[in-house]
Structure 1
């Protein structure tokens, strides 16, 4: 995935220019620290350094702040991935700043160790809470904090979920920043976008008198299909994708690659067959939706590297050189829904390297070999344990061979109401202390529905609980140990009805 370092970057200017007619926000600043430095940042207190492609503050005995950007920035949104590594005492916090005047005056959204998120202001070192709500705050877990300042309106979110809104006119402009209070933390993927008025979704794109080797996606004209009703559930609940952003229709390789590499919310409508190579990076806050029943991604796939809040729906993936969809490197809140996967060279879907909050629903795995891998390596327990939280429901594993899914370390992985048909090697494997709940599924002609206590191949045993499944012409489901309950509510389709319900509803053209 191409990476923007700052608005001054020539690459950034080119990318922004290609979508100038449809952009709702202009990028002001971005830093993912992959260059190994924190140039442009000024710090106060703490111990700051760039390590492993992220900005770290390791001190826990006082306040610590790092600021960047311009004092003249007024209306903008700042989004940062934040991970608290340690809290020194009770009621400590990690935070993202906006309209910073100095090290003691700014607006901020804080994740506190007492399981709250607060939208606050600091005036000459004196803090005032504007609004707060409860949220689970865990050491070692990545959260995406977003703070928007627009006139006197302040809006914040955690992981794209519940919104906190307040009104205050203390500060009209200022820098962005990150901070800790008696806490150590890691910060990554800092993005700042200016607030501009979005164009009408039905507006025509600006005319271009000359051709371009990388034509920009076009705005959907009035009457074009819009994203259908339907909301993500399971672990991906709360994912909004490109909501609030403009809509573009992409028909060529260059249009698609430009769109998925754009900063900010964007609804990308795919028309016809688009050929790509390898796995192409998708930036956060995107909805990628196939139009009709023929939208196809051929030859390559989508890659998520520290990405989040992305929806992929109604697409056929064919002949991917590697994985069709790779959710990796701590990506989160990804919804993969109503797609069809055909003949990937490796896996149809991989969910690996500490990724989490993913739902895979209503997809057709059509004679695939390696359908779904959760956790890529037996040696990656340090990164994966406590993550890889995935919901897998109402999919048709249709004459596919294996990995439906194969799980390492992830818990809970919730596999429910899927139709497993003629799976040659096995259906579900829980290994390396993974925790998998297999519930309300229909297994037909599957010789090995579940592995767990015996492990699988070179991997050690995992844990698996099965309940309310039907096995027709199939072997026994191997169970082992206990598994954490899914932390969300859900409604099961009666197991006997799963084959008919799933076959009628999965795949493309069924939204």
Structure 2
């Protein structure tokens, strides 16, 4: 497993070359884990509820259920889709075929209200030309969750491509959002951006490709008032398929959990800045120049790594400081990192649920 290390002396002592290291959980942690999946079997693809932060009971919301309990509707036109995502109350919105989202006066971003499930039918549901916004309008003076914060939204099994801004934007204290089994490509800005105080989000089993700045957590270096202590996000079993950078790039979060993701041909994988905490576990990095960084831009971040595999990478994963164990928030079972190159491409993206 060739590895060439180009390290500055100040960081050299803080770096760990991450091969496959098996660390058995303690008895208490093992008891908290979910039933394990047999190695190599993408059983997680059949999950009907999220794992990770979107499953945590908080902020008056018990996990993430989307439109469960509301009407199920099937949409085939732009007008139908935009009508139902804007309605109040729970809806399960089934997308059939290709729907074009107009640019209009919103730069192609279209608001999704609380208690919605957007799910594609089969393997051919597509949203093209625009993106989805989950959150109330931006207001820099709002520094705590407003009463009307958007919450309880699920987006699954949809290909979203060609947006003139973000593909999916989660903002302004939105919480309990599950983004799962989507194909996300070719947006002008972020593929999935999570910012401005948003919280309790899971991003799982997605394929990111033909995209540059993939997924941002935290608005900018000056947004501590909204973001500090929030932005808790889980990324698991995503396929970062030559998505160049920000996989993710994180500011201010106390904990972003990145596990069992497959990185293939990226300029960098993960960046932790502005004292954010990253727990990086069981991932497989192939041909990634910088798999994990804490010295990047802005103040240093914190990163803990466990059981990752690096192949043909030019740098090691940078580690610094301490990070809370995700199991203090929720149970989960990480697959062996050696299975990730098989399990993740087989199970990620559309047409797998």
Q: Could you say whether these structures have the same fold, taking a TM-score greater than 0.5 normalized by the shorter chain as the test?
A: yes
Match of 2:333 in 1: 491
* Residue of structure 2 in register with 1:443 after alignment: 285
Please give the residue correspondences for 1:51-66 in structure 2 after superposition, counting only pairs within 5 Å. none
The whole-number CA distance in structure 2 between the counterparts of 1:320 and 1:480 is: 36
Partner SS state of residue 446, structure 1: strand
Whether 2:238 is the aligned partner of 1:395: answer: yes
Q: Larger strand proportion, structure 1 or 2? A: 1
- Unaligned runs of 5+ residues in structure 2 are 1-45, 56-62, 136-148
Give matches, 1:219-368, under 5 Å: 230-237=48-55, 238-276=63-101, 277=103, 278-305=108-135, 306-368=149-211
TM-score by length of 2: 0.78
SS at match of 2:214: strand
> 1:411 Cα shift?
1.8
Q: Distance in 1 between matches of 2:238 and 2:185?
A: 14
Q: Give 1:480 shift.
A: 0.8
- Tell which structure's C-alpha radius of gyration is larger: 1
Alignment partners' CA distance in 2, 1:355 and 1:426 = 24
Residues matched between the structures, number: 280
Q: Which digits, 9 at most, give the CA deviation of each residue in 1:76-128, with x for residues without a partner? A: xxxxxxxxxxxxxxxxxxxxxxxxxxxxxxxxxxxxxxxxxxxxxxxxxxxxx
Alpha-carbon shift at residue 354 of structure 1 (Å): 0.2
- Measure the CA separation in 1 of the matches of 2:185 and 2:227: 28
**CA distance in 1 between partners of 2:351 and 2:212 (Å):** 24
Shift of 1:229: 5.7
Structural RMSD (CA):
0.9
Structure 1 Cα separation of the partners of residues 290 and 50 of structure 2? 30
Using the size of structure 1 for normalisation, the TM-score is: 0.54
The unaligned stretches of length 5 or more in structure 1 are 1-227
Q: Given the alignment, which residue of 479, 488, 508 partners 2:319?
A: 479
C-alpha offsets along residues 448-507 of structure 1, whole Å, 9 cap, x if unaligned? 01110x2x23x2210011110000011211111111121111101111001100010000
Give the distance between the partners of 1:327 and 1:481, measured in 2 at CA: 28
The within-5 A match list for 1:40-189 is none
Question: Higher relative contact order at CA 8 Å, sep ≥6: structure 1 or structure 2?
Answer: 2
